[in-house]
Amino acid sequence: MSITTSPVFQRITEILDQKFGIAGEDVKPETVLEDVELDSLALIEVALVLQKQLGVQIRTEDLSGSATIADLYELVNVAVEGS
């Protein structure tokens, strides 16, 4: 099953669209975060919003390993499952 059908992925897609102006069609697992203007500072901002909206904890230091949307999804999904 593709991660794109997971509720967490869909929620991330919604939040990136509504809060960060990233169109849904650009949110694919292989999308490189820098290509949608999510540099390291912006990614911390994204994580703050995801934490609030999803009620999870994401450590800032864990974000540095995220290069793609799939990496970000993985981080959030682990946080959701652990919450």
Partner 1 sequence: MSRRTPAEGAVAVTGIGLVTPAGIGAGENWRRLLSGAPTARRDPELAGLPVDIACRVPGFDPAALLGRSTSWRLDRVSQLALVAAEEALADAGLDPTTWDGARVGVVLGNALGGTAAYEAAHDAVRDDGPDGVSPLVMVNWPVNMISGYLATRYRAGGPNLVVATACASGVTAVGTARQLLRSGVCDIALAGASEAPLSRTPMAAYHKMGALSTRTDEPAAASRPFDADRNGFVAAEAAAVLVLEREADARARGTTPHAVVTGYGASADGHHPSAPDPTGAGVERALRAALLDADLAPGDIDHVNAHGTSTRLNDLMESQLIERVLAGGPSVTSTKGVTGHALGAAGAIEVAYAALTVENGLVPPTANLDKIDPDIHVDVVAGAPRPQRIGAATSHSFGFGGQNAVLVLENAGSR
Task: Please say which residue, 37 or 65, places its beta carbon nearer to partner 1.
Answer: 37
Q: How far is the CB of 81 from partner 1 (least distance, A)?
A: 21
> How far apart are alpha carbons 14 and 18 in whole angstroms?
6
Choose the stretch contacting partner 1; rule: CB under 8 A; options: 1-9, 13-21, 27-35, 68-76.
13-21
Q: According to the binding rule CB under 8 A, does residue 24 interact with partner 1?
A: no
> How far apart are alpha carbons 55 and 12 in whole angstroms?
13
Q: According to the binding rule CB under 8 A, does residue 54 interact with partner 1?
A: no
Please, what is the end-to-end C-alpha distance for the chain in angstroms? Answer: 23
| Residues near partner 1 (CB under 8 A) | 19-22, 37, 41-42, 44-45, 48, 60
